[in-house]
Structure 1
């Protein structure tokens, strides 16, 4: 039977991850870390790095208590050396998977280094200090051959879900605080509810905590169309697999559905509290895996959002999220992309975005937030690897300029160029041009019987550059400025290059949302696909 076989697959997946971890923890000290990394899958290597970090800090504390004062400082030096080794590796030639793996370990290592530095600065001398207890600490228990994660007074068993080679978040003081709130709410069998404006990392922090505990996290975007049955089905699935569900923008669901949802969530929480193996949910007996967690995120004060009913509020612990420390995030991401002078460059980067926000005109399509910062950093990383000899400030300046110029309106261009000139004085880096591609564009433009002006060709090239880093692109401008023709030219260029583009015209006024995206039939629960 399929379901029996699938359950066996799940069990053997967990057993394999656990087995690899047992082996990796033991082998950690046998060879230099940068060689050890390549012997194990990314998830295993990362977890074991974290286990050993906890162990080594523990050893350092023990030595401090024995009267050896500099133990922590020496460990800090060791960490810095290890981190520099990783950054040097990032500059070399690596396969895509290995690069991702080392970037992730780098990100976590930077945080580990900062925690130790903070403890040295505050002269912490025993392992019971809150600054240390409030960290997510992984430990390996030899008797039980299990990995546990401890934070404050809560302890979680690692779930050994194979998550693959996934990137991890930069851990800021805000992330730390959010971790404490979410883990405490799980510890008290409540659910967590991070709330705050867009781009503060509500969903990402929840996903990241799940990754740290080896748990699968499913994110559901809530909409007005969710009724109590579809919510109930999701909870039913989560309870039986022990995965976490993160319900994004939960307060979009209509109030009458929410009060039923409250009853459903409560029945799941009660079952966990009573340590039941199975419980009755919506009239069916289902199995319960106690690691299940339900999280909701909310955007306060948006249009079309409702207040949560009281019986639902009582089940969730709120956690307020504020705008994180962009400079820290930017610095660590630059380190992970292989930049050496990350701190100075991060400061320039964030200053530029602050000034843009304040000095440029207010356009609907401008975004100087976290997501925009992240996409520029990815571009900068690929430019750096493509041209490793070029000085770093030139690489960053080029990516900031060439990535932002396309979206800036004509009146703002001189201001923006002025800001870049002030922050990166006396740097004039030429655009990175692909002359081969440009000749194809010119040919396509002429085939469409248009004039191949330099400005027009530039716009087509910019559209192509944006499409490589973005899933979707808006082309904005007044009527008659050639928006459709730019897209047609790029489409034609792709045809000439034998890339087989597909072009579909849709008029949003002629299609309803449900026709476009699909809808669930409330009576039969059947899904009808969109266009």
Structure 2
């Protein structure tokens, strides 16, 4: 503090001297020629600027010291306070305020340890807030505290009088649960607490299964009148079911019976994979595809493909045998294509067929390239590149590092490889303020569960955190290299599952990206992924959702996106890359299914073109500024000259929009109505929607009108005008 005060006095003295210079400009007339033609005013301006920078730096450092002292006092007070005495809202406000100050200090000051330590302390406490909030709930009754006490035993006394410090000991209890069932590491403290607090209710795990297991949506839990409940079946997001060979009794701690579920899951899938291989030569392919679980179909088809290729390589007539493999793949593609275009409402079957078709197209291209390049050796690098590099790295206990622009398939390639190998892959989106402690928790989950993790946009993490992460990954690699059963990570001894893996993706195309430290680079094998094959991806995806004219339509779609990206104005929110293309195709697939449900017979090429045009307009027009709409419509008309799409009328929505606008006291404006309808359509097609525009452009108004309209929409068809007006008045009272 003495140094800061000294510097402050020096800065004040310099400011006085500058002011003196301004009052005595005539004293510098003789020296002006020696100042490289700078005037006194310019010299004064430079000096003032430098002094201003010094004053700003000193101000930020004073704020840093004050914030450090304030946080230390708050932290000590909170730790020693009883739960009933803590104002949770005040705590949340103070934590948010500290994080805001830290953000300003990081931007305004050079990197220094003091800011980093303050940030780590605040972030660490912030992670405990959900527990403090949950257990500080005044509605908790003695029976709730008794239930929590029973869960954790008598090591910690829990009631409304316990302190925050005691709650941190409760966190250690959760850590024990995570060690027993490592997949709990992929849940937040609040999520795990919700499970433990209702451990007697096995259904409490259902909302969190998708974070612990790959695509397990729900467990079928049979509750008997006598005896404990039993887990009998696994259910996927698509509705596919796997009956467990042995019922899992739910009569112990939640982590114990989940371990049994995990083991049974592995056992039943091994059994089905063996059965799938045995049935391959005894069932017609079209029957085999639909009579086995989806993961088995995809895995076994790849096993057979690999075996066929390797057998052809060791044959004395390698080329002829490989040509037979190619012919077999083409035959399977034809059969899958016939199944794809059938009108099926089974989501599971559609998903499996779409994935299988994509895989077989890839297999076809691989074999075709092998024949063209006369490659008949399984060890040749051309046998596949990205996956071969990644699996080769994993064999050496290294990680992989796909690098390239956004939308080139980096993350999807990793996820697909994990699925092909039957591994649970957790995708973690990295960010600049990522704390190494969070990563340490993640690594503890990975090494014990044997899962994979894909750290997306890894080079967005700060250099300081990357240095610590490098040490953590090096420790894991050393344990795998020495075939250790147990090793020390983050200060605790844990067992290691050798199938765990760390893979990262990087994109240098944005600001704020950093180079990896050399000790971290050496732990990953790089894979460059630059430009995806847009037309092939579009063709395969279109065919997988049932478009027979996929080849022609994919070419037109790619040309449309290329012309739009070149001829339309450059806006920050415009995107004509692969993600935009796939969004359009997925929307087209939904429209095609709806179209087929409303009509009989097969769709012609013109029908499919109309569906594509409608999907393109619905997914693209809402994001264009007014000046680009007409130009885009012209491009669309040039590419699809034979088809004209009439405007889709949404009569029910338009009716309630007029009512909603009237209730809100606004004017009926056709252009605004059109934007609201576009907004509604985007909400139906996308997970999230961003309203973009200048201040006063009507963004909030559009949202308010649609919100009111959707409240009215369910009753539009069943109520009379008078009843509707009565409902509207009631809604106004509650809004």
Tell me the TM-score range normalised by the shorter chain. Answer: 0.7 to 0.9
In the alignment, structure 1 residue 402 sits paired with structure 2 residue 618: yes
Counterpart pick for 1:330 among 520, 538, 556: 538
Determine helix, strand or coil for the equivalent of 2:264.
helix
- 2:352 aligns with 101
Deviations 1:403-434 (A, max 9, x none): 21111111112211111111111321113333
Instruction: Work out the CA distance in 1 between the residues paired with 2:705 and 2:411.
Output: 38
In the aligned structure 2, how far is the partner of 1:438 from the partner of 1:75?
Answer: 56
Match of 2:340 among 47, 67, 90: 90
Q: 1:430 aligns with which of 638, 642, 646?
A: 646
Structure 2 distance, partners of 1:292, 1:249, is 20
The 2-side partners of 1:55 and 1:307 are apart by 41
Q: CA deviation at 1:254?
A: 2.3
Compared CA separation, residues 131 and 183, structure 1 to 2 (3 A): closer
**Partner Cα distance (2:474, 2:313) in 1:** 42
Query: Are residues 1:296 and 2:546 paired?
Result: no
**Structure-2 residue corresponding to 1:42:** 294
Taking the TM superposition and a 5 Å limit, the aligned residue runs for 1:51-450 are 51-58=303-310, 65=316, 71-91=321-341, 92-124=343-375, 126-128=376-378, 130=380, 134-135=383-384, 177-300=385-508, 302-388=510-596, 389=603, 391-450=607-666
Q: Structure 2: how far apart are the matches of 1:19 and 1:101?
A: 19
Deviation at 1:213, TM superposition (A): 0.8
Kindly provide the CA deviation profile for residues 331-388 of structure 1, in whole angstroms up to 9, marking residues without a partner as x.
Answer: 1111111111212211111111111111111011101111111100101111122224
Report how far residue 248 of structure 1 moved: 1.8
Contact 2:618–2:681 (CA under 8 A) maintained in structure 1: no
Aligned to 2:259: 7
More moved, 331-340 vs 388-397: 388-397
Structure 2 residues not aligned, in runs of 5+: 1-251, 597-602, 716-735
Counterpart contact for 2:584–2:616, Cα < 8 Å: yes
2:281 matches 1:29: yes
Q: Is the 8 A contact 1:402 1:431 kept in 2?
A: no
1:374–1:257 distance in 2 versus 1, CA, 3 Å: same
Post-superposition CA distance 1:461-488 (Å, at most 9, x none): 1111111111221222344443222211
Asked whether the equivalents of residues 196 and 299 of structure 1 are also in contact (C-alpha less than 8 Å), the reply is yes
TM-score, normalised with respect to structure 1 = 0.80
- Structure 1 residue corresponding to 2:272, chosen from 20, 31, 45: 20
- State the SS of the aligned residue for 1:93: coil
Distance change (3 Å), C-alpha of 1:130 and 1:431:
farther
Distance in 2, Cα, partners of 1:317 & 1:76: 31
- Mind listing any 5+ residue stretches in structure 1 that lack a counterpart? 136-176, 500-531
Tell me how far 1:58 sits from its aligned partner: 4.7
Structure 1, residues 5-36: CA drift from partner, whole Å, max 9, x if none?
A: 33222211111110111111101222222222
What does the per-residue CA deviation read over 1:115-170, in whole Å, with 9 as the maximum and x for residues that have no partner?
2333343455x4547277x24xxxxxxxxxxxxxxxxxxxxxxxxxxxxxxxxxxx
State the secondary structure of the residue aligned to 1:30: coil
SS at structure 1 position matched to 2:576: coil
User: What SS is found at the alignment partner of 1:387?
Assistant: helix
Distance 2:624 2:450 in 1: 47
In 2, the alpha carbon distance for the partners of 1:251 and 1:76 equals: 41
Q: Residue 345 of structure 2 aligns to a residue in which SS?
A: coil
SS in 1 for 2:646: coil
Q: CA deviation at 1:328?
A: 1.2
Deviation at 1:71, TM superposition (A): 4.8
**CA separation in 1, counterparts of 2:308 and 2:509?**
46
SS of alignment partner, residue 220 of structure 1: strand
State the distance in 2 between where 1:331 and 1:131 align.
27
TM-score, normalised via structure 2 length = 0.59
SS in 2 for 1:258: helix
For residues 22 and 467 of structure 1, the distance between their equivalents in structure 2, rounded to whole angstroms, comes to 43
Q: Structure 2 CA distance, aligned partners of 1:318 and 1:77?
A: 34
Corresponding residue pairs, total: 454
Residue 463 of structure 1 pairs with residue 679 of structure 2: yes
Look up the match of 2:691.
475
Bigger CA drift: 83-92 or 461-470? 83-92
Q: Kindly indicate which of the two structures has a greater share of residues assigned to helix.
A: 2
Deviates further, 51-60 or 83-92: 51-60
2-structure distance, mates of 1:395, 1:498: 27
Separation of aligned partners in 1, 2:647 and 2:328: 41
Following TM superposition, by how much is the alpha carbon of 1:97 offset from its aligned partner in structure 2, in angstroms? 1.7
Say if 1:306 and 1:128 are closer, same or farther in 2 by CA, change over 3 A. closer
CA distance in 2 between counterparts of 1:322 and 1:409 reads: 30
- Aligned to 2:502, the other structure's residue is in SS state strand
Question: What is the alpha-carbon distance in structure 2 between the residues aligned to residue 114 and residue 281 of structure 1?
Answer: 44
Distance in 1 between residues matched to 2:518 and 2:442, nearest whole Å: 22
1:195–1:321 contact (8 Å) kept in structure 2: yes
